[in-house]
A = this chain, B = another copy of it.
C-alpha cells in the first residue's frame, strides 16, 4: 500500500501542481481545497479566512499577537483553525494513501503510526518569478518577487510557530526536489518511483 505523501512547497515552486499529478498517477486522493472546506465545517470559520490563516502568519496581524500571547486557557482563532486543520489532516491520512499539500502536514504526521513520505518542493527565485507571473499574470518582476518573499515569510513564521521547527530544514523531509532545475515532470516521476519502491519494501516486510 502506498504511504501518505505530504508536500511542503515554496510559493511559486509548483508544489501544488506536482502533488496533484502525483495523486493522479498513483490514483489516490489529493487534499488541498477539501481540507479548507472540512475545516470550515469543523471550526465554524469562513473558508476565505481559513485559506488566509491556515498556513500563513502575518506577524503584524492582531491574530498572531493573540496567538503568541495565548495560554493553555485561551485559544486564538488562528489556534482554533490550526487544531481543526490538524484533526482534518489526521482524519484524511487515517483513511489511507493520499497526497496532502502544506499546512504543517509533515509535522502533524511525523510521530503518527501512519506510513508517510514527506516531500519538499523548492526552486530558485527566477523560476518562481516566471511561474507566478505566468499563473497570475503579473508583469513586473520586482512586485512578483516581493509577493513571493512575503508568502514565504508568512509560511515560515506560521510553520515555526506551530511546529517549533525551521521550515525548509532538510532533516524534516525524506525527499527534497528542486522543481526549477529538474522541472515538474521529473519531480512527479521521482516522487512516484520513490513511493512505489517504498510500498514494495513495506509489503515485503
Interface residues of A (CB under 8 A from B): 117, 120, 122, 124, 168, 170-171, 173-178, 181-183, 185-186, 189-190, 193-194, 197-198, 201
Contact = CB atoms under 8 A, between A and B. Distances in A.
A175 B190 contact: yes
B174 A175 contact: no
A175 B173 contact: no
A174 B187 CA distance: 10
Given A174-B177, A175-B182, A189-B197, 14 more contacts: A122-B170, A122-B171, A174-B182, A175-B176, A175-B178, A175-B190, A176-B177, A182-B194, A183-B201, A186-B197, A189-B194, A190-B190, A193-B193, A193-B194
Contact of A190 (B168, B173, B194, B201): B194
Contacts of A185: 197, 201
Nearest to A168: B170
A186 B171 contact: no
A64 to B, nearest CB: 26
Contacts of A178: 171, 173-175
Nearest to A189: B197
Contacts of A194: 182, 186, 189-190, 193
A190 B185 CA distance: 14
Contacts of A198: 182, 186
A114 B171 CA distance: 29
5 contacts: A120-B176, A175-B176, A176-B177, A183-B201, A190-B193
A181 B177 contact: no
Given A198-B186, A201-B186, A170 B174 contact: no
A63 B146 CA distance: 44
Contact of A197 (B170, B176, B190): B190
Contacts of A197: 185-186, 189-190
A191 to B, nearest CB: 9
